[in-house]
A and B are shown apart, each in its own frame.
Chain A
Amino acid sequence: GAVVSQHPSWVICKSGTSVKIECRSLDFQATTMFWYRQFPKQSLMLMATSNEGSKATYEQGVEKDKFLINHASLTLSTLTVTSAHPEDSSFYICSADTGLAGRDWNEQFFGPGTRLTVL
């Protein structure tokens, strides 16, 4: 199956710093990538949809100036948590859509996630 990688897998940072998380599709091109956040014992929550070459679409309640998304190529999307605070500590997961033509829905392949802890 298709492989999606994330880097770093975990990060600990001080409050006020910015953290960049990379999401890469390793063996396929992903026109669309998704960023999710998961707090302990809660569901995955979609933060934004990232389309290559255009601005990301953010879900209601997600601050676009705080969570900067850049989808610079068909294999790379980055999420930057700016001025991170302890409440931003969470598990961030990206997924990539294979974008196969002619299908109502394409399976999303998930990255392994990045655990962010803000002190």
Chain B
Amino acid sequence: RKEVEQDPGPFNVPEGATVAFNCTYSNSASQSFFWYRQDCRKEPKLLMSVYSSGNEDGRFTAQLNRASQYISLLIRDSKLSDSATYLCVVTNTGGFKTIFGAGTRLFVKA
């Protein structure tokens, strides 16, 4: 089993749609969680951190469920510019090991 697993995608949605991605992790000792965005042939960029209390940044909402060991990302009112690969990232403290999910591809169409 992979340490971090994501929805395989791709997700094809129209502009204005709401789309949700899920990610599960296997190490219960994982400490920090993030969503990164990666455009084609570019480096990943931090989209947002994920906290147990949930956090929102504009159209993006991230949630963490430690009991079930999953993380979610919700994108509301999708824009064409949201088309990218979204990477779920989990970091274990102490070992300072960062593990990336395989990514979920999103295509937003006009």
Q: Which residues of A contact B (CB under 8 A)?
A: 32, 34, 36, 42-46, 49, 91, 93, 104-105, 107-108, 110-113, 115
Contacts and interface: CB of A to CB of B under 8 A. Distances in A.
Nearest to A110: B43
Contacts of A108: 98
Contacts of A32: 96
A115 B32 contact: no
Binding site of A, secondary structure by majority: helix, strand, loop or mixed?
Answer: strand
A6 B44 CA distance: 14
B1 interface: no
Contacts of B4: 43
Of listed B4, B41, B98, B101, residue having the most chain A CB within 10 A: B98
A105 B93 contact: yes
Given A34-B98, A46-B97, A104-B31, A110 B87 contact: no
Of listed A43, A105, A107, A115, residue having the most chain B CB within 10 A: A43
A80 B43 CA distance: 20
A94 B93 CA distance: 20
Of listed B4, B32, B101, residue having the most chain A CB within 10 A: B32
Interface in B24-73: 31-32, 41-46
A32 B98 CA distance: 13
B102 interface: yes
A46 B44 contact: no
A110 B44 contact: yes
Contacts of B96: 32, 49, 105
A3 B15 CA distance: 32
Interface string B93-109: 10011111111000000
A113 B98 CA distance: 17
B93 A104 contact: yes
Nearest to B94: A104
B86 to A, nearest CB: 12
Contacts of A115: 41
A38 B93 CA distance: 23
Nearest to B45: A110
Contacts of A45: 100
